[in-house]
């Protein structure tokens, strides 16, 4: 495997090619590879492998490849077989790579099969330098633009659904997930529960130690909660020092057991903020679809929130599972 054999080997050239777009060439002819390196070396870093199997192995490890240029007839794995493996990959980076196919065949059989297998473009040998550069420039630029747009879309989605301080879901995204649970409940009869958790005396922490310390406490709590929950659960900071946890396929008893574990874990944890050591407690309210029989997520959250404040009224550092407090877990 060689990288742009036409380029001189010196530090200046290495620095220049390090920032160049990378094209993976699968070609068993050393003569053709040398010629293509000459055609493309001024703009692209050409990574040369000798067959489809080597090309597939390379893209699975190298995330810098932006386009594949492949011959059809190669040992071990042909260009057609490489195309099939690229397009069937479960890795989005790999299956979306643009692939330009080269062949010296005079009929359209290879061309048609290449396009059926997902080729982005096709070019005949002998390769015309300007045509090759134009085709690669178009497909590389298009693919890069699509990747940038997708990255922007994901960044906007992250901003719209995530609490910027803790990295947890925000209230809006929590409700979206809860609405999905409600839809499943209505369709299949599954149950789910909501936990509302609030840090006790958080205003005192802000007043005594400053808002920066308060922010660090919120982050620390947000890092503890995922350690106690499942991947299918949704944890959100829904405002101030209040957190909500959505528990699919969980009844009131299961939610109460988890809530007590959260309460005791936070109570036992030593929070170190700078040089300050703090002890925290939380109050928790619980509501479950199987016990409350509500028809919208807003009502279930309000019930859990009402019980959260009941737990605070009863002395804090406890969980409340009903509206009277008689079944509250106390320390």
CATH code of residue 14: 3.40.50.2300
Catalytic residues: 241
Task: Tell me the CA distances in angstroms from 61 to 48, 65, 160, one per residue in order.
Answer: 15, 10, 32
* Domain coverage including residue 241: 171-320
Smallest CA-to-CA distance from 71 within 39, 127, 25, 31 is with: 25
Distance CA 304, CA 198 (A): 11
Q: What pLDDT shows up at residue 326?
A: 47
Q: What pLDDT shows up at residue 273?
A: 83
Say if 330 falls within a structural domain. Answer: no
Distance CA 209, CA 215 (A): 11
CATH code of residue 211: 3.30.70.270
Q: What pLDDT shows up at residue 167?
A: 95
Smallest CA-to-CA distance from 244 within 286, 201, 292 is with: 286
What pairing do the DSSP bridges indicate for beta strands 271-273 and 65-71? unpaired
Is residue 20 domain-shared with residue 81, that is, in the same domain? yes
pLDDT category at 178 given cuts 50, 70, 90 is: very high
Average pLDDT over residues 141-154: 89
Residue-wise pLDDT tens digits, 4-40 = 443 333 443 444 444 688 999 999 999 999 999 999 9
Q: Which of 2-6, 76-80, 272-276 has the highest mean pLDDT?
A: 76-80
> Largest Cα–Cα distance of the chain, in whole Å?
86
Is residue 111 domain-shared with residue 177, that is, in the same domain? no
Q: What pLDDT shows up at residue 10?
A: 43
Point out the domain boundary residue: 129, 160, 191: 160
Say if 119 falls within a structural domain. Answer: yes
Is residue 154 domain-shared with residue 176, that is, in the same domain? no
Domain total for the chain?
Answer: 2
What single DSSP character describes residue 320? E
Angle between helices 79-88 and 52-59 (to 10 degrees): 30
Residue-wise pLDDT tens digits, 275-316 = 888 999 999 999 999 888 788 899 999 999 999 999 999 999
Is residue 77 domain-shared with residue 203, that is, in the same domain? no
Element (H, E) at 234: strand 234-239
Extract the tokens encoding 100: 């330009």
Is residue 223 domain-shared with residue 117, that is, in the same domain? no
Say if 227 falls within a structural domain. Answer: yes
Say if 166 falls within a structural domain. Answer: no
Is residue 41 domain-shared with residue 74, that is, in the same domain? yes
pTM above 0.85, yes or no: no
- Does 274 score more than 80 pLDDT? no
């Amino acid at each position: 495997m060689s990288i742009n054999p036409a380029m001189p080997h010196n530090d200046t050239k290495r620095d220049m090619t390090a920032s160049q777009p990378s094209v993976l060439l699968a070609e068993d002819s050393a003569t053709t590879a040398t010629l293509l390196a000459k055609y493309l070396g001024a703009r692209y870093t050409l990574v040369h492998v000798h067959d489809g199997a080597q090309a597939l192995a390379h893209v699975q490890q190298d995330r810098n490849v932006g386009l594949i240029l492949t011959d059809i007839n190669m040992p071990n794995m042909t260009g057609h077989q490489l195309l099939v493996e690229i397009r069937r990959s479960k890795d989005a980076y790999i299956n979306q790579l643009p692939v330009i196919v080269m062949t010296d065949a005079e009929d359209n059989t290879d061309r048609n099969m290449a396009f059926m297998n997902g080729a982005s473009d096709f070019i005949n040998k002998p390769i015309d330098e300007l045509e090759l550069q134009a085709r690669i420039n178009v497909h590389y630029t298009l693919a890069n633009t699509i990747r940038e747009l997708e990255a922007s879309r994901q960044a906007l989605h992250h901003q719209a659904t995530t609490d910027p301080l803790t990295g947890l879901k925000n209230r809006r995204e929590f409700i979206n997930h809860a609405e999905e649970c409600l839809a499943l409940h209505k369709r299949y009869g599954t149950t789910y529960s909501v936990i509302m958790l609030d840090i006790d005396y958080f205003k005192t922490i802000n007043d005594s130690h400053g808002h920066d310390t308060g922010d660090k406490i919120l982050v620390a709590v947000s890092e503890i909660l995922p350690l106690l929950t499942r991947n299918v659960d949704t944890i959100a900071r829904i405002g101030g020092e209040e957190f909500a946890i959505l528990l699919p396929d969980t009844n009131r008893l299961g939610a109460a057991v988890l809530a007590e574990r959260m309460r005791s874990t936070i109570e036992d944890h030593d929070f170190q903020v700078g040089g300050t050591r703090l002890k925290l407690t939380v109050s928790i309210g619980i509501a479950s679809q199987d016990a409350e029989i509500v028809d919208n997520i807003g009502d279930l959250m309000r019930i859990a929130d009402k019980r959260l404040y009941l737990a605070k009224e009863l002395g804090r550092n406890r969980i409340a599972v009903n509206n009277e407090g008689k079944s509250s877990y106390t320390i």
